[in-house]
Amino acid sequence: MEEQLKKSDTLNVVGELAAGIAHEIRNPMTALKGFIQLLEGSMKGEYDNYFQVITSELQRIETIITDFLILAKPQAVSYQIKQVNTVLSETLDLLSAQAAMLNIQFDIKYGELPLVHCEANQLKQVFINLIKNAIEAMPDGGIIEVSTELFFDNHILVSIQDHGIGIPKSVLKKLGEPFYTTKEKGTGLGLMVTYKIIEEHEGWIEVNSKEGEGTLFQLYLPIFHENA
Ligand code: ADP
Ligand code: MG
């Protein structure tokens, strides 16, 4: 099962809308959070459960807004010539403590790579989104294999293989659609953001998955040529 995804048309429209709305929501959110913290302080004990729900739902709104803002061309986009292995290893460092708590280990193989013209923060976001999905697909823990290699002479390939629940064929077609999620607490924005970022880098993504066995996400990025 393999799907190559190109969904840029939907992405552009949603992106423009998202920017405006997300910024407008952020300010009142900050005020809400402040006052709820004040209330919580003065009502200690009695309503702890309610405050827990309020806090986690506010957190959820923040996650959605953060995902949205990435869609809408981030403020300071800075493309640089980078070693993807470095960007990847910084991201894995960031995630490894969280993964370890969930009984998940990373098996990492860095290939020898030429440089890539990329936005490091956006690429990090891509790696985070894919690895978080991999982690969430393995509720009993296990190993996530991450590797990089040269793909022919002109692309690098980053592979993220999990051994989780896998993706049914019917779901595979919908990956990257806004708000498409099969998770109770999902936003359905992670992959959409991921596809958009990779398309902006003139790369592409392939997914291979088998229900009950696991999922392989492969990212292809063009290598940097001096006179391109
Ligand atoms: P979310 O994680 O918030 O649900 P995403 O856009 O990241 O949103 O993913 C959309 C859906 O794609 C998920 O809800 C899940 O059904 C499926 N999916 C993505 N990655 C994986 C994976 N590694 N294993 C199994 N299912 C996955
Ligand atoms: Mg996700």
ipTM of this predicted structure? 0.99
pTM: 0.80
Residues 85, 113 contacting (CB under 8 angstroms): yes
Confidence of residue 186 (pLDDT cuts 50, 70, 90): confident
Pocket of ligand 1 (CB under 6 A): 129, 133-134, 137, 162, 164-165, 167, 171, 175, 180-183, 186-192, 215
Mean pLDDT of 85-93: 95
Kindly state the tokens that stand for 4.
């190559």
174 CB neighbour count, 10 Å cutoff = 14
Confidence of residue 15 (pLDDT cuts 50, 70, 90): low
Say if residue 99's pLDDT is above 80: yes
Q: Which of 191, 198, 213 to mutate for ligand 1's pocket (most ligand atoms within 8 Å of CB)?
A: 191
pLDDT at 12: 61
| Closest residue by Cα to residue 190 from 199, 200, 181 | 181
For the CA of 186, the nearest ligand: 1
Mean pLDDT of 143-169: 97
pLDDT in tens, 48-59: 889 888 988 888
* Average pLDDT taken over every residue of the chain: 88
pLDDT at 9: 54
The dihedrals phi and psi of 169, each to the nearest 5 degrees, come to: -55, -40
pLDDT at 1: 46
What is the rounded CA–CA span in Å between residue 4 and residue 201? Answer: 16
Four-CA torsion 8, 69, 25, 64, nearest 10 degrees: 80
Report the range of poorest mean pLDDT among 40-44, 160-164, 181-185: 40-44
For the CA of 171, the nearest ligand: 1
Contacts of 226 (CB under 8 A, 6+ apart): none
Cα angle, residue 82 at apex, residues 91 and 133 outer, rounded to 5°: 30
pLDDT in tens, 77-86: 789 999 999 9
